[in-house]
Amino acid sequence: MKRLTLALLAAVALMVVASATIGAQDQPTRVVFVDAQALIAAHPGGQAANALRAQASEEVGDLRNQLDGLQARARAGETLSTDEQERFNILLTTLDAVQSRYQADIAAAAEPAIEAVNDAIRDVAVEREYAIVMDIAAAAESGLVVYAIDGLDITDMVLSRLR
């Protein structure tokens, strides 16, 4: 009798698991895409980060140009003076310091935008019952998505949530 009860319980458990699996397969997986970079750029924190990127690009570009000029002279066989060698080393150290400072400043400026965008994406996904939200640029760049029907981009919905 005990064996029959155990077998019956095992069969019932198996049926419950099977029906749950079948029921889960009946629900379509809803995958959508979002342009996260556009959303971050639309946020004030993203705009501040972009302004810092432009400023960094200009400042780093000036330092690189000075370094490139000295390197070009050295490659051409010209001997750099002691002052020029010292200047080269100072420029190299300054370039590293400036890049590090800007990276930290840009990350700090962008952090509120990234958090707000992630929250808005999560809110829209939960409300609309989207199972997966993929960044459209990452999906395209990685080749992960081979085909997707039109109408799966929810960037505008998320953007309206951010505002």
**pLDDT-derived band of residue 29, with 50, 70 and 90 as boundaries?**
low
pLDDT tens digits along 56-70:
999 999 999 999 999
| 112-135: pLDDT as tens digits | 999 999 999 999 999 999 999 999
Range of the domain at 158: 27-162
Asked if residue 52 lies in contact with residue 59, where contact means CB atoms within 8 angstroms, the answer is no
Domain count for the chain: 1
CATH of the domain at 133: 3.30.910
Residues 40 and 110: beta-carbon distance below 8 Å:
yes
Asked if the structure places residue 13 within a domain, the reply is no
Digit-coded pLDDT (tens) for 85-107 = 999 999 999 999 999 999 999 99
pLDDT-derived band at 2, boundaries 50, 70, 90: very low
* pTM score of the predicted model: 0.69
